[in-house]
Amino acid sequence: MLIYDTSCLTFNEAIIDTAKVKLNLYTHETGELILMASLKQPPGKVFFSTDEIYLHYFVTDKICLQLLFEAIAANMVTVLEEDKFKLYMRSDADIQLCEGEKLFSEFKQSNNSVLSSGMHILK
């Protein structure tokens, strides 16, 4: 799902909130779950749809953050660079998430600002 502005999103929770990495969970007005993640390359934030299964895989350390993105992001993704939304074809761009190689538990160990301990959406 492509996001053209954030007015269609309702914030659910911050899954990761560190100085370098933000991973926020939103609900689109259609009911679809959307993640917003900090990018290393290109700089900015990427929005992509997700489902509860892959999100569960991430918070239970079955996949790293980058693999969460790689496994479920559509061929085209929305990137917010400064205040402008841009569309990227994943096949044409090397989209790298900040600290994407880390598992969820590694974020928790290295920073107390990780917030997802009560992820109500995954019950």
* pLDDT, tens digit (0-9, with 9 covering 90-100), for 9-53: 999 999 999 989 999 999 999 999 999 999 998 789 999 999 899
Residue 8 Cα distances to 2, 12, 35, 38, angstroms: 11, 13, 13, 20
H helix runs in 1-123, sequence order = 52-59, 65-72, 104-110
Asked if 34 contacts 67 with a C-beta cutoff of 8 angstroms, the reply is no
In the chain, domain spans = 6-105
pLDDT, position 122: 45
What's the predicted TM-score (pTM) here?
Answer: 0.86
